[in-house]
């Protein structure tokens, strides 16, 4: 039995006993010749979102017009917050849905630094998502010129050692901000442990949950989290540019003030008072009119996720990644690929990254095969990372085998040489 027939047989068995298999039909897929492994960047379109959007556009907007604000749209943010709260282990009145992850990050980081009097250090890590680091640099540049940003170094390029966090934190640390799951390697922090370390020094912690939400188990309340932000277009399948969310622990809500004093954060926006009076709860983190079309598209997907449950989703995510990793170790590492994700599943989110000096052209070959192979869509992150995102609601074990076989074939046949190094705007 060849190595692939062994793995294909195993994959078929795993697919047949998969408790989540029927969820694949909830997602639009007109192309059986496509393997989509980029749900960690942009989740697939849920079928119920199509009918929901059609109704919102054609009836609620098209016919009912402004009356739909009172009849349908006011309350949508709260309904989404309730579902996201279940997914991240928080209370509904601790979640605000709207704006982008970056804007929410700015609002919370600004507010946190303001209440951390006499503390002037912000700590993050060198592997963090660039937007979070840019926002922090921008805050220092525009508003907190005496603050400085310290970046914890990685010892292996994949993870951050908890001891290195412990030794950098001190009484001057105002804010520690980290991505719970790192965007390149998928390394996952122990949130509870880090929160405790920071709180010992009276530092606040701001988590970026973009690569965690909907894929790994989160318990924001239980783990003592202060603040968090996250996007909804990855594992939450909200669609391109769907609204982000933020979380603020209940007790902190009275202390933290949104620096963007828009009317949707006002206590009574429709009294049209000239003077700003902040809402005293999570609604104060609103600023402007919520994007109803994007929010409407998100609601059906959140229903699917909460119905499926995060525990089975995480269980399958680990099973898919471990299966992929096993084949990679046996077949791909000898072909020149390098594993760039943690090997311990409890320290890994729902994607696996491989490095190869020809990473970009390999990625192109997967997407645009020279033969009649299926098209496989992962994504590429410079300098040479190919990221394979595993979305348990629609990916299968058989797809893992097909992907590994293509990765080996592309190297063996040097198929990647057909492609240029020219990169498109979005990778
Ligand atoms: C970890 C992380 N943080 C922040 C962002 C930026 O999110 P947004 O475009 O919603 O500001 C992304 C985008 O991919 C991300 O992966």
**Tens digit of each residue's pLDDT (9 = 90 or more) over 337-389:** 999 999 999 999 999 999 999 999 999 999 999 999 999 999 999 999 999 99
Helix, strand, or coil (residue 224): coil
- In short, whether 129's Cβ falls inside 6 Å of ligand 1 is yes
H/E element holding 195?
Answer: helix 191-200
Tell me, yes or no, if 397 is annotated catalytic: no
Task: Say how far apart CA 76 and CA 225 lie, in whole Å.
Answer: 25
Tell me, yes or no, if 360 is annotated catalytic: no
Instruction: Give residue 422's pLDDT.
Output: 83
Tell me, yes or no, if 44 is annotated catalytic: no
Instruction: Give residue 426's pLDDT.
Output: 82
DSSP annotation string for 355-387: E-TTHHHHHHHHHS-SSSPPEEE-EEETTTEEE
Q: Check if the beta carbon of residue 95 is closer than 8 Å to that of residue 247.
A: yes
Task: Say how far apart CA 142 and CA 330 lie, in whole Å.
Answer: 51
**Å from CA of 217 to ligand 1 middle:** 19
Instruction: Give residue 177's pLDDT.
Output: 99
CATH number of 50-307: 3.40.640.10
Q: CATH topology of 3-30+309-418 equal to that of 50-307?
A: no
CA 10 to mean position of chain CA atoms? 30
**Å from CA of 326 to ligand 1 middle:** 30
Instruction: Give residue 1's pLDDT.
Output: 65
Q: Check if the beta carbon of residue 94 is closer than 8 Å to that of residue 248.
A: yes
User: Is 1.10.3720.10 the CATH classification of the domain at 3-30+309-418?
Assistant: no
- In short, whether 231's Cβ falls inside 6 Å of ligand 1 is yes
Which of ligand 1's atoms lies nearest the C-alpha of 244?
10
Q: What is the pTM of this model?
A: 0.98
Low-confidence residues in the chain, pLDDT < 50: none
Which token pair is 107?
């609002």
Q: Which residue carries 């997914």 as its tokens?
A: 87
Spot the catalytic one: 18, 38, 208, 379.
208
Q: Check if the beta carbon of residue 257 is closer than 8 Å to that of residue 251.
A: no
Which of ligand 1's atoms lies nearest the C-alpha of 102?
11
**Å from CA of 427 to ligand 1 middle:** 14
Q: What does the domain layout of the chain look like in residue ranges? A: 3-30+309-418, 50-307
Q: Check if the beta carbon of residue 341 is closer than 8 Å to that of residue 187.
A: yes
Give the residue from 24, 28, 98 showing the smallest Cα distance to 294. Answer: 98
**Å from CA of 181 to ligand 1 middle:** 12
**What percent of the chain is helix, strand and coil (3-state, nearest 5)?**
45, 15, 40
Helix, strand, or coil (residue 25): helix
Task: Give the residue, by CA position, lying nearest to ligand 1 atom 8.
Answer: 101
């Amino acid at each position: 039995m060849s190595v692939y027939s062994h793995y294909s047989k195993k994959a078929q068995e795993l697919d047949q006993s998969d408790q989540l298999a029927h969820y694949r039909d909830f997602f639009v897929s007109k192309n059986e010749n496509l393997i989509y492994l980029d749900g960690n960047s942009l989740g697939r379109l849920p079928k119920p979102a199509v009918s929901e959007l059609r109704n919102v556009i054609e009836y609620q907007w098209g016919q009912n017009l402004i009356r739909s604000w009172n009849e349908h749209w006011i309350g949508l943010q709260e309904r989404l917050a309730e579902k996201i709260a279940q997914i991240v282990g928080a209370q509904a009145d601790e979640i605000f849905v709207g704006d982008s992850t970056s804007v929410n990050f700015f609002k919370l980081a600004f507010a946190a630094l303001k209440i951390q009097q006499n503390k002037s250090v912000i700590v993050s890590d060198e592997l963090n998502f660039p937007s979070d680091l840019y926002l922090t640099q921008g805050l220092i540049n525009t508003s907190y010129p005496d603050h400085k940003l310290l970046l914890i170094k990685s010892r292996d390029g994949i993870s951050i050692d908890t001891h290195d966090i412990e030794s950098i934190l001190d009484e001057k640390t105002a804010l520690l901000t980290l991505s719970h799951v790192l965007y390149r390697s998928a390394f996952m922090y122990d949130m509870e442990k880090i929160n405790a370390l920071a709180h010992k020094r009276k530092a606040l912690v701001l988590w970026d949950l973009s690569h965690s939400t909907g894929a790994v188990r989160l318990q924001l309340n239980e783990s003592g989290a202060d603040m968090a932000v996250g996007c909804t277009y990855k594992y939450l399948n909200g669609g391109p540019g769907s609204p982000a969310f933020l979380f603020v622990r209940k007790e902190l809500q009275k202390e933290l003030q949104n620096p963007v004093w828009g009317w949707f954060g006002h206590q009574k926006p429709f009294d049209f008072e000239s003077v700003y009076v902040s809402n005293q709860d999570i609604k104060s983190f609103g600023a402007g009119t919520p994007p109803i079309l994007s929010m409407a598209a998100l609601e059906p997907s959140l229903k699917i996720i909460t119905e499926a449950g995060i525990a089975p989703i995480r269980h399958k995510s680990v099973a898919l990644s471990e299966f992929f990793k096993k084949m990679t170790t046996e077949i791909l590492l000898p072909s020149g690929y390098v594993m760039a994700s943690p090997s311990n599943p409890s320290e890994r989110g729902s994607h696996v990254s491989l490095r190869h000096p020809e990473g970009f052209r390999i990625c192109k070959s997967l997407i645009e095969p020279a033969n009649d192979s299926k098209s496989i869509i992962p994504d590429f992150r410079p300098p040479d990372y190919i990221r394979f995102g595993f979305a348990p609601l629609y990916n299968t074990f058989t797809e893992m085998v097909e992907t590994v076989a293509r990765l080996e074939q592309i190297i063996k046949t040097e198929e990647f040489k057909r492609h240029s190094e020219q990169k498109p705007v979005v990778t």
